[in-house]
Structure 1
Amino acid sequence: MLTSLLARTSGALLCLTFFVVAMASSLVFGNIPVSLDMLIASCLDYDPGSLEHLVIRTERFSRTVTALIVGAGLAIAGVLMQTLTRNPLASPGILGVNAGAMFFVVVGATLFSLTSPSELVWAAFTGAATAAFLVYFLGQEAGRGISPVRTVLAGVAVTALFVSFAQGLLILNQNRFESILFWLAGSVSGRELATIVPLLPGFGLALLVALLLSRQLNLLGLDDEVIRGLGLRVGQIRLLVGLTVIVLAGTSVAMAGLIGFVGLIVPHMARGIFGTDHRWLLPMSAILGATLLLAADTVARMIIPPQEVPVGVMTALLGTPLFLYLARQVRQLS
């Protein structure tokens, strides 16, 4: 773990370097290879007659932006959930928040013919809030408050419930299956930049709120009586954090579907490097989350060309071993 300011600053610069490399790789690699010179030329002197320029501008740029936003959003949502619940296993994917958002997206798309992310995001917010309430209610243990083990079990049950409902709804509506399939698997492809832009103000506001709450988040690990003694309103802070998680997770699902484990992996990576101070943990989690999803998507499109593996499959392959390890650690401590 980096402790001094100089070490943390150096670590942050190194993470930023990896982020830039991952973003450049996302724009360069694919079924149609593009050189760095061609990439720079497409930005400075766009030629609509060039196939490479067209691919970069119309497909890869929006794909890269989507992966960047979704990765950062899920990572910060994971940090907030782990801090809020004091549970190292908490994340939007594990606790069913993503699954709830995804189910309501499927409902909106199949029953109400909603198509663009700016329309579906409201359904995603509703689903994320519903799932969060269910998990919070089911995770309560009489006389002891929220139980980490019960919360995870509740999250698994809620996830299975909403995913089953979504699959059943799609079976009954075969005509919409192809257009909704990528939400079930998780994918950052096929998003037009014009459909992403309307989501950015709300997403940016949620990120800003999370960063502004960094000092208060550092205190949430203390007992509630101690926090109140410091003059903070615990209930209001937790409500604001919960709403921020719903916005971040809901927007991510509306943009890219069911991508799991980013919110679980990245907070532990960032915490292991930069410590538990949320003034460092939140921004560095955003950078690492964006880097991870960009790298996973780049690898996913190169494994079995010209076919692409959904990026949700790649994050599951990375996250499942870590989840099992963390679950074992929690069980030993309980």
Structure 2
Amino acid sequence: MKAASAAASPGSDTATDATVAKAAHGGGRRAPALGAGLVALVAVLLLVMWASLLVGSGDVGAGDLLPGIFDPDLSDKGQLILQEVRLPRTAAGLLAGVALGLAGTVMQGVARNPLADPGVLGVNSGASAAVVFAISILGMSDPGHYIWFGFLGALVASLVVFGIGSMGREGATPVKLALAGAATGAALLSLTTSMLLTDSKSYDQYRFWQVGSLTGREAAVLWQALPFIAVGTVLALLLGPRLNALSLGDDLARGLGQRIGVARAACAVAVVLLCGAATVVAGPIAFLGLVVPHAARLFTGPDYRWVLPYSALIAPSLLLIADIVGRVIAPPGEVQAGIVTAAIGAIPFVLLVRRRKLSEL
């Protein structure tokens, strides 16, 4: 009786296996509804992008949109604002949102930890520390130059966290990865702070970028980040079946023919590409990658083949909405998008965690 009760308990491995297997089996029947949901999210994202181009302190009318995008007259004030400010800002929100939403989803899947995201596991801290090193120690001021340091920092932090979390007989368990990420993030934060305190000019340049912002993003930087985010996005979307297998545990994944090491390496490459580029584009916005996968699972269930594309659409919509809210709540100034994202996402996330059992996340 005890064995039967344990096998049926919601938090047991058997219940988790059954949940994922049920989701995968039912995916075909639910595919039309989930596909319609994707179309609806695309429509919402386009609407939010349209609002992002129109809303702000400058006077940009709806009639300025098409000419301002395709054939701008820079003598027109509205079209000038659109070209120089609104388009790069909206593009930055789109790129960073897609990257962070996918990166958070992949990290939660590979770590089997519902609280994993690029911030919790120290990846954003690694990218930030490397960027600060490039600005403060090497004297770089062009984001097009220190984008490579963002990738390097994300890679080093990922390797350190996974190396520490893999120590011991059990390997890289979710709890060990979370603890290793927290410790690595704290160490990198202290290193970043020590570099900034010795260089006030670098601190002034860094402090607005650090909270997460879409303002002042140059088109050249966005074009440089675009190929990395595109490759990372394609790779992440292809990882859905592998993440479904990994969520069953290493032993069952091997039994299903998965090569665990290859799958985790592919996940690491996707996360490094996405987090490194997103950190350079918008700064270390940590909360987005944490809450968006949970919101996606409300619609899709635990099947990562659907969670990934849903996250890729929900995250940029949320980030752009946060940026729009930040423009209008404190005129004539602005509130940084990273601050608004955390503020508007914290309460729904707490309610979500209280309503759903941890094993179901």
Both structures adopt the same fold (TM-score exceeding 0.5): yes
Alpha-carbon contact 1:102-1:183 (below 8 Å) kept: no
CA RMSD between the two structures: 2.4
Deviations 1:229-271 (A, max 9, x none): 3332110111111111011001111111111211011111111
- Counterpart position of 1:306: 332
The partner residue of 2:48 within 22, 28, 33 is 22
Whether 1:32 and 2:58 are equivalent positions in the alignment is yes
Query: Which residue in the other structure is 1:207 paired with?
Result: 233
Deviations 1:310-334 (CA, angstroms, capped at 9, x unpaired)? 111112223444665677778899x
1:52-84 per-residue CA deviation (whole Å, 9 max, x = no partner) reads 100101111011101100001000001100110
Alignment map for 1:63-78 (pairs within 5 Å): 63-78=89-104
Distance in 1 between residues matched to 2:353 and 2:121, nearest whole Å: 13
SS at match of 1:15: helix
Equivalent-residue separation in structure 2 for 1:146 and 1:318 (angstroms): 33
Matches within 5 A, 1:105-120: 105-120=131-146
Instruction: Please tell me whether the aligned partners of residues 84 and 220 of structure 1 are also in contact (alpha carbons under 8 angstroms).
Output: yes
* 1:196 pairs with 2:222: yes
For residue 103 of structure 2, what is the amino acid of its counterpart? Answer: A
**CA–CA separation in structure 1 for the residues paired with 2:166 and 2:232:** 27
CA distance in 2, matches of 1:125, 1:330: 35
Q: Measure how far apart 1:140 and its partner are.
A: 5.2
- In 2, the alpha carbon distance for the partners of 1:327 and 1:146 equals 24
Q: CA deviation at 1:43?
A: 2.7
CA positional deviation for 1:214: 2.2
Q: Which residue of 2 aligns with 1:177?
A: 203
Moved more, 172-181 or 292-301: 172-181
Corresponding position of 2:125 = 99
Return the alpha-carbon distance in structure 2 between the equivalents of residues 326 and 133 of structure 1.
31
1:154 counterpart residue number? 180
The 5-angstrom pairing of residues 52-63 of structure 1 reads 52-63=78-89
In 1, the alpha carbon distance for the partners of 2:174 and 2:135 equals: 34
Could you tell me whether the CA contact under 8 Å between 1:117 and 1:196 is conserved in 2? no
**Deviation sequence 1:175-208 (CA, Å, 0-9, x none):** 2222222231111111111222122222211111
The alpha-carbon distance between structure 1 residues 332 and 199, as it changes in their structure 2 partners (threshold 3 A), is closer
Q: Pick which of 165-174 and 36-45 moved more.
A: 36-45
1:168 aligns with 2:204: no
- Whose Rg is larger? 2
Residues 1:323 and 1:92: Cα distance change in structure 2 (over 3 Å): farther
What secondary structure does 2:75 align onto?
coil
How far, CA to CA, are the matches of 1:155 and 1:21 in structure 2?
36
Show CA shifts across 1:19-52 (max 9, x none).
0111011111111142222223323542211111
The one of 209, 230, 235 aligned to 2:256 = 230
Q: Normalization by structure 1: what TM-score?
A: 0.91
Tell whether 2:246 aligns with 1:217.
Answer: no
SS in structure 2 of the partner of residue 251 of structure 1 = helix
Instruction: Report the number of matched residues.
Output: 333
Where 1:4 maps in the other structure, the secondary structure is: helix
Q: Structure 1 40/331 Cα, relative in aligned 2: closer, same or farther at 3 Å? A: closer
